Structure 1
Amino acid sequence: MQLALTLLAKNEADVIDANIAYHLAAGVDFVVATDNGSTDGTREILERYETEGVLRLITEPSTDFRQGEWVTRMARLAAEQGADWVINADADEFWWPRAEDLKEAFERLPGRYGVVHGVWRPFVSRPDDGTHFAERMTTRLSMQAAINDPTNPFRPARKATHRAHPGIRVRDGNHDVEGAPLVTLHGWYPLEVFHLPLRSREQIETKYAGGARRGLRFVPDEDRMDAAADPLVVDDSERERGLGENLLVEDTRLRDALRTLAGTEQLGTEPEFTREPLAFPRPSVVDDALFAVEAAVVAQADEIRQRRQVDDLERRLQDVEALLGVRIQRRLQQLLTRRPT
C-alpha cells in the first residue's frame, strides 16, 4: 500500500519540518507539496525533502487563494505517482491514527469504501515563551464544548481522506471530496486531526498580515491581530478553569511523538527529526467509548451545518420564486394591455 500526503503551505517554517517528519514516521510514503509564495524559509525546508526524494514540490505564485483547485491538483498527481490513499493536509494539521499507524487505519476499511473522515482536534493557543510550539500547545478544545459558529476556527469539524483517483475533486478546506465514484463511510472515524493554527504572534503576523484570505476569516482584515489572535491565547488561569469545567483537555500525544522523533526529553527551538517509525498505542475500550461520545458531537455539528445549507437554499428559492412571480405578473399585465378593444 502506498500512502501519500498533500500539503499546501505559505510561511509555515515553524511547523512544516515537524509536519513532514511526523507523517513520514507515521506511515506516509511520499509527499506532494505546494508552496504559495513563502518568504520565511518554508520553501527551503520543502526543497530539502525534495532533494531527499520523498517530496514533489509545486510552486504556486498566485495571490488568489484557490485552495480546492490546488489541493485537487496535488491529489491527482499523487494518484499518478501510484498512491493508493491520499491525505490532504494543511501544514498545521497532524493526522493521528487510532491504529498501529496510518496505513493500518486505512487497511481496516472495507474495500467498497473510498472516503473516510478524521475528527478535527483544535489545540488552543498558549502564551509564547519562546519554546517549541509542541511543548506549549498541549491543550485542546473538548468536543463536548460544541461550537456551531461556522466562522469559528475551533468549531467541531471533520476532514476527508480518500482512495487515490485521477478524477477526484477536493473541496475548499479539505472537508469533503467529490467527482469520483468513491463511497463515503459515515459515522466511523479511524483518524484524529490535530489542528494547531495559532502558534505564536510572530507566526500569525507572518502568515496573515497583508489581508491574506486564509485563516482568521472571522474578523475584518485590519483587525485580525488585535481583535482575534491575541484574545484567543489561553493563559494559565483560563487553562485551569477550562480543564476543570471539561471545556479543555490535556493532550500531550503530539508533543511526545515529536520528542521521540527528535530523540530528546524536551524539544528545542529547531529540533532535528529522525525517520524512525513511530509506535502508536492502540486505544483502550474506555478511550474508544469517550471518543465515540466526542465523535457524536461532530455528527451533530454536521447536521446543523446541513440544516443551515438547506435553510439558505430555501431562502434563495423563495427569492427566485418571488422574482418569477413579479415577472409573470408584469408579463400578463403587458399582454392584457395590448389586447384589442
Structure 2
Amino acid sequence: MKVVMTLLVRDEADVVDAQLGYHLHAGVDEVIATDNASSDGTTEILERYERTGRLRLIREPSDEMRQDEWVTRMARLAATEHEADWVIHADADEFWWPRGGSVKDVLATVPERFGIVRGCWRHFLPRPDDGAFFAERMTVRLATPAHPGDKETIFHAHQKVAHRAHSAVEIERGNHNAEAPGLEPLRAWHPLEVLHFSFRSVAQLERKAHGNWLRSPTYEPTAHRLLLDEAFREGRLPEHYDGHAVDDEALARGLADGTLAIDTRLRDALRGIRAYDGSFPLPGAGERLTFPRPTAADDAAYAAEASVLVEIDGIVRAEQRVRALERRLDALERGPRSLPRRLARR
C-alpha cells in the first residue's frame, strides 16, 4: 500500500519541518505540497524535502486563495502520477495520529467497499508564549470542543478526510470531505485523530493574519479568521493570543472539571525523531514511529468527543443531496426538452 499526503502551506516555517518529518515516520510514503507564496523560510524547508525525492513541490505565487482547487489538483496527481492507494489531506498545523499501528496499518483495515475515512480534530491549546518549540509547550488538549455550529472559534469539533486515490476526486474547502464516483464513506468510525496546533505563538499569528490580509477580494474567510484579521488591523494580536492561551490557573480548573487534558503524545514522538540540530531527518531502518493501542479509558473519552461528528456527517450528507439535485436540475435545464422553454422566454 502507498499513502500520499497533500499539504497546502503558507508561512508555516515554525511547524512544517516537524509536520513533514512526523508523517514520513508515521506511515506516509510521499508528500505533494503546494507552497502559496511563503516568505518566512517555509519554501526552503519544502525544497530540502524535495531534494530527498519524498516530496513533490508545486509553487502558487498568487495571493488569491483557491484551496479546494489546489488540494483537488494534488489529490488527483496522487492518483494519476504517484500511484497512491490512499490520500490524506493535511494542513501544516495538523498531525494525523493513528489509534494503534501506523497510518498505513489503519487504512489497510478499511473494508474494500469503503473509500472514505474521516479523522477527528483534537485541538491543542496555546500556552504562555515563552519562545520554546511549539510541541514542548503545547501539551494541553481541549477535551470538550465547541459545537460545530460555533464558527467564531477554531476550537470546534470537525473532521478531516482521507480517501482511496481517485483521478476524479473533488476535495471540499478545508479538507473536510471528498467526493468521487464509487467512493463510499465509512461512517461513525474515526480511527485517525488529527492533532491540531493552530495557535502556536504571537509571531505565528502575525504571519497568519498578514497572509489573510493580503488575500484577494474573492477569498471568503471564516468567522474566526475575521476576528484574527480585526485584531491584526487594530494591533491587538498579543491580546488576541492571550485570550486563547491557557495559564496555570486555567489549566488547574480545566483538569479538575474535565474540560482540559494533558496530552504529551506529539511532544514525545517528535523528541524521538528530532535531530540534535532541531531538524527532522528522513526515517531509516528501525526509526519509524510506533503507535500503541489506546487504553479503554482513552477509547471511552474519545468516543464521547467524536460522537458529535455524527451530526456533522448528517449535514455533509444533506449538502451532498442538495448538490446532486442542483446538478440534475441544471442538466434538465440544458437538455433537449428545455429548448421550447428557452425559445418561449425570448
Give the equivalent residue in structure 2 for 1:51: 51
Matches of residues 79-158 of structure 1 in structure 2 within 5 Å?
A: 79-80=79-80, 81-143=82-144, 146=147, 148-158=149-159
Taking a change above 3 Å as real, the CA distance of residues 157 and 33 of structure 1, as seen in their structure-2 partners, is same
Query: 1:302, CA displacement in angstroms?
Result: 5.0
Q: Percent identity?
A: 50
Matches of residues 157-236 of structure 1 in structure 2 within 5 Å?
A: 157-209=158-210, 211-212=213-214, 216-219=224-227, 221-224=229-232, 225=237, 228-236=240-248
Cα deviations by residue, 1:132-156 (Å, 9 ceiling, x for unpaired) = 1000001111136646403320001
Distance 1:148 1:243 in 2: 25
Taking a change above 3 Å as real, the CA distance of residues 301 and 141 of structure 1, as seen in their structure-2 partners, is farther
Taking a change above 3 Å as real, the CA distance of residues 285 and 168 of structure 1, as seen in their structure-2 partners, is same
Give the equivalent residue in structure 2 for 1:40: 40
* Unpaired segments ≥5 residues, structure 1: 314-341
Asked whether the 8 Å contact 2:102–2:291 carries over to 1, the reply is yes
Distance 1:199 1:53 in 2: 29
Q: How many residues in Structure 1 have an aligned counterpart in Structure 2?
A: 307
Give the equivalent residue in structure 1 for 2:65: 65
Distance 1:253 1:220 in 2: 28
Give the equivalent residue in structure 2 for 1:252: 264
Asked whether the 8 Å contact 2:26–2:289 carries over to 1, the reply is yes
Query: 1:73, CA displacement in angstroms?
Result: 0.6
Distance 2:289 2:228 in 1: 41
Distance 2:308 2:226 in 1: 22
2:289 is matched with which residue: 268, 274, 278? 278
Out of 288-297 and 57-66, give the one that drifted further.
Answer: 288-297
Paired residue type of 2:299: D
Cα deviations by residue, 1:60-92 (Å, 9 ceiling, x for unpaired) = 111111110000011111112100000010000
Query: 1:227, CA displacement in angstroms?
Result: 6.3
Give the equivalent residue in structure 2 for 1:326: none
SS at match of 2:227: coil
Distance 2:214 2:126 in 1: 20
Paired residue type of 1:238: A
Cα deviations by residue, 1:278-328 (Å, 9 ceiling, x for unpaired) = 01111233322222122113324555x569979x99xxxxxxxxxxxxxxx
* Unpaired segments ≥5 residues, structure 2: 216-220, 324-346
Asked whether the 8 Å contact 1:2–1:85 carries over to 2, the reply is yes
Give the equivalent residue in structure 2 for 1:8: 8
Distance 1:143 1:299 in 2: 16
Query: 1:22, CA displacement in angstroms?
Result: 0.3
Distance 1:46 1:274 in 2: 13
Distance 1:242 1:168 in 2: 41
Taking a change above 3 Å as real, the CA distance of residues 272 and 83 of structure 1, as seen in their structure-2 partners, is closer
Paired residue type of 2:83: G
Distance 2:183 2:227 in 1: 36
Does residue 294 of the first structure (1) align with residue 305 of the second (2)?
yes
Asked whether the 8 Å contact 1:144–1:297 carries over to 2, the reply is no
Q: Which has the larger radius of gyration?
A: 1
Asked whether the 8 Å contact 2:145–2:155 carries over to 1, the reply is no
Give the equivalent residue in structure 2 for 1:77: 77
TM-score by length of 1: 0.84
Query: 1:257, CA displacement in angstroms?
Result: 0.3
Paired residue type of 2:74: M
Distance 1:151 1:177 in 2: 24
TM-score by length of 2: 0.82
RMSD between aligned residues:
2.5
Matches of residues 297-312 of structure 1 in structure 2 within 5 Å?
A: 297-300=308-311, 302=313
Taking a change above 3 Å as real, the CA distance of residues 301 and 204 of structure 1, as seen in their structure-2 partners, is same
Cα deviations by residue, 1:146-172 (Å, 9 ceiling, x for unpaired) = 464033200011111100000000010
Paired residue type of 2:227: V
